[in-house]
Chains A and B, each alone.
Chain A
């Protein structure tokens, strides 16, 4: 069975500071990992995905994530937070040949001026 754990349901950072959102996964087979962003009353927008190619994945809006198998982690980072980054972020896992995405409970990012 697969699972995803997002540490910290709420994270606050100052504008210009580093953003670090944590995601740990559990999977008995090689995983595909995703980060989605959800703005208030909007749908999910894909930020980036890992599908067994490069372990450092670059996404949109300056975000990136690194797949670390030894730590079963896929943390999301951005060097400098912008006010427009305030949103909820979801980590999700699936595997090749399956269709169910298993989502974490989300992390709400607040950016302070």
Chain B
């Protein structure tokens, strides 16, 4: 069974450029989460979707960040324009929620470096 698939695995870009991170959740999972991880702040939840609908985006740092989930098998996280402080590992995770949160399955992450 394929796990959560993220792309790209690594991205190096220059300040001001647009960055798009992609995620394919596990088939059958109905919740999708975007996290950002840094040494200083740990794992931070940016936004999550239930049944493709954004539920809580209060963790999105600012208007430069946006996320979409057009269907059950695909989500994107976009940063425009990117800044050096956005450098981090971005994880996508999915779960099957029925009552509780359910076990989270993470992708391998997208390591972003903004110069």
Whether chain B is bound by chain A comes out as no
Interface residues of B (CB under 8 A from A): none
